[in-house]
Structure 1
């Protein structure tokens, strides 16, 4: 348990940060799930539109430190290739 005033403050800040980061991560997952559902339905237009919406959201997660840059790039790349493969 935190003893010094600084460590108590840090513990409070960590709780606030954790909730914000959790919300950001959840939002990113929602956008990715929409892309996955569009790919599964086979609708290329909907899938590409969902991917266009998901890309900035993922990169925003990178800039906020929720997701690693390479992880986001890998996810975008794999989703883009799957969208492109839809007949």
Structure 2
């Protein structure tokens, strides 16, 4: 177990080894709580957690018909083939 010292400003440094292994970067926000005699820091996600309901209808526009999966795949395939052909010219 590593130890850290609290500064006069109430700050401490999370050891570099821990920061790197848990991908903690500058600006990472933490939830802090006391559990018994422990102080717990829980890194908050970079992006808010979303659900399918949050995103439902996000891409819907009035007047645009829904397409089935087969048509969508065909359009994507056509677009990728066009991009590929453009890189070969």
- Structure 1 length-normalised TM: 0.25
Which structure has more strand as a fraction of its residues?
Answer: 2
Which structure has more helix as a fraction of its residues?
Answer: 1
Higher RCO, 1 vs 2 (CA within 8 Å, ≥6 residues apart): 1
Q: Which has the larger radius of gyration?
A: 2
- Structure 2 length-normalised TM: 0.25
